[in-house]
Amino acid sequence: MPHEKDNNYLSPPTSPLNSGFDTIESPLPSPAFSYQSGDDFSSPYSPYGHASQTHANTLHQSFGADNLTRTISYDSPGSPSIKRSGTKKSAKDTAYFKEVFSVRDEPVVPKTAGIWVEFQTNINLHNTPTLLTSLTAYLAHRYKVPPLTILLDISHSSHLSLGGTSEGCYTLTVSAVHSISPTVNKRQAIMLQQWIWENLGLAANRGIIRFNLVECANWATGGDTVLGTMEKEEVKRTGTNSGMIRGMSRRGGSRKEKEKKEGGLRGFSRREKRGERIMEEEGMMEDFPVKETGGKMEQKGLGEIEREMEKMEVEDLGKYSQETLADERPKTEQKPADKPKRKKSVFDIFSRGQK
Ligand SMILES: O=C(O)c1cc2cc(O)c(O)cc2[nH]1
């Protein structure tokens, strides 16, 4: 459906992706906080009491008649030759030590915190209530969140110009405390722009999407910030506020730098990577049947990106580079037979003189 200046299509949406809430698998709102498996950190013991009890189990021994020698019921550490009895760690023990030594899984930012989507266009829309419903449903589907948690703000007939022309164009801003990460954004960009093309006739190269990963401390709903809610939840759960939640939310300064270093690949923080992992786990990286409408997208230069995306493995984060970005520009901007340059390996550097 090509863009018309005065957008008059009131006909019901034809895209299979756009049939409203009833076709959307709407998950029941998940609990406000989900912690990763095995995270029961409550210990019935005081730290020292617990430790000594475990110690007593491990060193279980009986003394001989002379009360001087003892029968050892266990082998030297690490030896599998004698099956220890009474030393099997319970899940609670493991959780306790995880808590004490701070190696537990990090809390997951609640997806119930919501997603705030702003869509602005210079075209004139005639049926915004329907659009609100159908785009909300689509976003809920893409982000695997209940539609209830999506705040959608549509502005149309805006004074917006892209490339200095008043041709139809748009901005889309997706803000959230979760589900925003480099790979996820790539996938969402193609899918969201395809939806907009199919439903509103606005070409992918006539819109810019901005993904905002917002700090939990800077996102509030229900009268509290997400950070505040998570801290309260931690206190409820463990009896203490370890400061870990605040720590994971803190950004900037040296910690940011540290996170970037630790995060490794391309300087994305662990938090951004975690968002990605969660989405992978929840199947959010699945593709929609892009091919069905591939022809249309192809005209607009997205076919190339689409193929690139299909080739891309979720784990391929490390391969993402400026070269990849260049490949994603619309076809017209690319040299036809450009082979991506292979990066020089250490071997190449050392063998340069011999070629
Ligand atoms: O022009 C409108 O107001 C308009 C277009 C459009 C397309 C669509 O798929 C919807 O679900 C609603 C809608 N409103």
User: Ligand 1 centre and the CA of 18: distance in Å?
Assistant: 10
Q: Is the CB of 183 under 6 A from ligand 1?
A: no
The verdict on the CB of residue 43 being under 6 Å from ligand 1 is: no
Task: Compute, in angstroms, the gap from residue 188 CA to the centroid of ligand 1.
Answer: 20
Helices (H), 250-301: 253-263, 270-281, 294-299
Ligand 1 atom nearest residue 7's Cα: 1
Residue type at 187 in one-letter notation: R
> How far does residue 216's CA lie from ligand 1's centre (Å)?
33
Q: How far apart are CA 215 and CA 117, in angstroms?
A: 16
Could you report the per-residue pLDDT of 253-298, keeping only the tens digit for each? Answer: 334 444 444 443 445 566 565 555 555 656 666 543 333 333 344 3
Classify residue 304 by burial, with Cβ atoms within 10 Å: 0-12, 13-18, 19+. middle
Based on DSSP, count helices (H) and strands (E) in the chain, helices before strands: 12, 8
Nearest to 139 by CA among 128, 148, 127, 129: 148
Whether 249 lines ligand 1, by a CB cut-off of 6 Å, is: no
Output the pLDDT for position 221.
96
Return the top range by mean pLDDT from 46-60, 92-106, 303-317.
92-106
Q: What's the complex ipTM?
A: 0.91
Which residues contact residue 10 at a Cβ distance below 8 angstroms, ignoring those fewer than 6 apart? 126, 127
| pLDDT confidence of residue 258 | 42
* 106 Cβ contact partners less than 8 Å away, ≥ 6 residues apart: 36, 244, 248, 274
222-264: per-residue pLDDT in tens? 999 999 999 998 888 888 887 777 776 654 333 444 444 444 3
Residue 13 has pLDDT above 50, yes or no: no
Q: Which CATH number fits domain 115-221: 3.90.470.20, 3.30.300.130, 3.30.429.10, 3.40.1190.20?
A: 3.30.429.10
CB 125 near ligand 1, within 6 Å = yes
* Gap between the Cα atoms of 283 and 113, Å rounded: 19
Q: What is the pLDDT of residues 132-149, one digit of tens each?
A: 999 999 999 999 999 999
- DSSP sequence for 163-222: TTB-SS-EEEEEEESSS--HHHHHHHHHHHHHHHHHHH---GGGEEEEEEE--GGG-EET
What is the whole-number distance in angstroms between the Cα of residue 47 and the centre of ligand 1? 60
Q: Which helix (H) or strand (E) holds 227?
A: helix 226-238
Residue-range domain boundaries for the chain: 115-221
128 lines ligand 1 (CB under 6 A): yes
| Ligand 1 mean position, distance from CA 333 (Å) | 31
Instruction: Tell me the pTM.
Output: 0.53
Atom of ligand 1 nearest to the CA of 8: 1
- Residue in 134, 154, 195, 196 to alter for ligand 1 test, most ligand atoms within 8 A of Cβ: 134
Indicate which residue's Cα is closest to atom 11 of ligand 1: 131
Q: Are 275 and 184 in contact (CB under 8 A)?
A: yes
Ligand 1 neighbourhood includes 19 CB (under 6 angstroms): no
Centroid of ligand 1 to alpha carbon of 121 (angstroms): 13
The β-bridge relationship of strands 207-213 and 220-221 is unpaired
Q: Decide: 136 in ligand 1 pocket, CB within 6 A.
A: no
Q: What is the pLDDT, as a whole number, of residue 125?
A: 98
- What pLDDT is attached to residue 243? 76
pLDDT (average), residues 122-126: 98
